[in-house]
Amino acid sequence: MDKAALACIGIGLMGWPMVKRLRGLSYPIAVFDIAPAQLELARGVGARVATSAADAVAGADLVVLNLPTPYAVEEAMFGEGGAAGAMRSPQLLVDFSTVAVEQGRGYARRLREQTGSAWVDAPVSGGPPASGTGTLTVMAGGDAADIERLKPFMADVAARFTHMGPVGAGLAAKMLNQLIVGCLHVVMAEAASMAEAAGIDAARLPECLAGGHADGSLLQRLYPRMVARDFAPQGYARQLRKDLEMVSAYAGDLGTPAPMLQQSLALYRRLIEAGHSELDTSAVFTLYDKRQI
C-alpha cells in the first residue's frame, strides 16, 4: 500500500525525529517550520521544504502539526500563509500538539467551516525518543471514520493509539496525562533529594524498586537524569509549565479539586522564574538540589 503524502508543520523536538523516521519508511513529506536550521535537517533526509504552511499542504493527504503552543497552532493554520488557506476535503488534519480542550474544538469547527476538512486532536506522550522510534502513546479525538483512516499512519507513529471519543476527547485525556506526569516529576525530584540526604546510592533506586508499586517509566528514565544532573532538553520546562497551566484551568472549568496539581504548577512557575525555561522538565530537581546548577 502506498504511504500517505504528508505535510509536516513544526519540525522541532518532536516533529524532527518523527519526520526523520517517516522519511526512512518512504513517506513523501513536505515540511514547514519557522526555524531555517530545522528545514535544512529535513531537506537532508529528502523532504520537500515548503515556503509556508499553505505551500506544504499542496498534494498532501494528511496535514500533521507538531507545534509548541496554541498560538503556534493558530498561526500555522489560520494566520497569513496558514494551512487552512490551502486545505480542502478530503485532506485530514492531525494535531499532535497540546492545546486547551475547548480551544482545540474551536479550531476543528473553524477548519470544517472554512475548508470542509476534518480535524483530529491527537496529543502524545513519550517525548522525542518515542517520536523517533514510532512508539508514541497517542490519545485521539475525532470522528470514527477519520480515526479509521488514520490507523495505517498511526501504526508507523505510535505503539498505542486510542480513540477516546469525538473531537476534544484526546485533548481531555492529555490534560489527565499531564496532571499525572507533572505531579510525578515533583515526586521524582523529592525522592532523589531524600535518597541523597539519606546517604544511600541514589542512582540505584530504580534498580532497587523495579517491579514494585513505585516502578514506572518516570522512575526508570526521568529519575536517573535528575541524579546525574542531566538537564539537556528532551522536553522543555516551559512546555510542561504551559501544559500544567492548561490543566489547572481545565480543572477549574470542571469544578474538580486538584491540590497536587497546584503544588506542582507552583514549583514549575518557580523554575521558570529562576531562568531555567529552556532546560529539560527534569530540572525541577534543581529546586531541591543543594548543589544547584
Residue 110 lies in a domain: yes
Q: How far is it, in rounded angstroms, from Cα 289 to Cα 207?
A: 22
Judge if 119 and 190 occupy the same domain. Answer: no
Judge if 156 and 207 occupy the same domain. Answer: no
Helix or strand (DSSP H, E) at 123: none
Final residue belonging to a domain, choices 117, 140, 165: 165
pLDDT of residue 290: 74
Residue 292 lies in a domain: no
Residue 270's pLDDT band, with cuts at 50, 70 and 90, is: very high
Structure confidence by residue, pLDDT tens digits, 148-174:
999 999 999 999 999 999 999 999 999
Residue 62 lies in a domain: yes
Judge if 83 and 143 occupy the same domain. Answer: yes
pLDDT at 1 over 90: no
Structure confidence by residue, pLDDT tens digits, 103-115:
999 999 999 999 9
CA-wise closest residue to 48 among 35, 34, 37, 58: 58
Structure confidence by residue, pLDDT tens digits, 211-230:
999 999 999 999 999 999 99
Q: How far is it, in rounded angstroms, from Cα 133 to Cα 41?
A: 18
C-alpha cell at 124: 502524545
Judge if 15 and 124 occupy the same domain. Answer: yes
Residue 109 lies in a domain: yes
Judge if 215 and 157 occupy the same domain. Answer: no
What's the CATH number where 130 sits? Answer: 3.40.50.720
Contact 103, 174 (CB under 8 A): no
Percent of the residues in the chain that have a pLDDT greater than 70, as a whole number: 99
Final residue belonging to a domain, choices 165, 184, 205: 165
Q: How far is it, in rounded angstroms, from Cα 202 to Cα 135?
A: 29
Q: What is the SS3 assignment for 86?
A: coil
Q: How far is it, in rounded angstroms, from Cα 202 to Cα 43?
A: 43
Range list of β-strands (E), 122-250: 124-125, 136-141, 158-165
Model confidence, pTM: 0.93
Q: What single-letter amino acid sits at 235?
A: G
pLDDT of residue 2: 86
Longest dimension (CA), the chain: 62
pLDDT of residue 178: 97
Q: What single-letter amino acid sits at 3?
A: K
What's the CATH number where 257 sits? Answer: 1.10.1040.10
Judge if 179 and 109 occupy the same domain. Answer: no
Bridge-based pairing state of the strands 136-141 and 124-125? antiparallel
Judge if 119 and 149 occupy the same domain. Answer: yes
pLDDT of residue 262: 97
Contact 235, 68 (CB under 8 A): no
Judge if 50 and 100 occupy the same domain. Answer: yes
* b (16+ CB within 10 A) / e for 154-167: beebbeebebbeeb
Judge if 103 and 180 occupy the same domain. Answer: no
Residue 293 lies in a domain: no
Structure confidence by residue, pLDDT tens digits, 225-246:
999 999 999 989 999 999 999 9
pLDDT at 256 over 60: yes
Within a 13 Å sphere around the CA of 1, how many CA atoms are in the beta-carbon half?
5
pLDDT at 249 over 80: yes
Within a 13 Å sphere around the CA of 152, how many CA atoms are in the beta-carbon half?
11
Residue 293's pLDDT band, with cuts at 50, 70 and 90, is: low
Judge if 198 and 134 occupy the same domain. Answer: no
Q: Mean pLDDT, to the nearest integer, of 126-143?
A: 96
Phi and psi at residue 121, to the nearest 5°: -85, 125
Residue 51 CB burial class (10 angstroms; 0-12, 13-18, ≥19): exposed
pLDDT of residue 291: 67
pLDDT of residue 292: 61
User: Total structural domains in the chain?
Assistant: 2
Range list of β-strands (E), the chain: 6-9, 29-32, 48-49, 62-65, 92-95, 118-121, 124-125, 136-141, 158-165
CA-wise closest residue to 267 among 247, 256, 281: 281
Q: Which domain range does residue 61 map to? A: 6-165
Q: How far is it, in rounded angstroms, from Cα 67 to Cα 284?
A: 23
CA-wise closest residue to 46 among 66, 27, 65: 27
Judge if 283 and 148 occupy the same domain. Answer: no
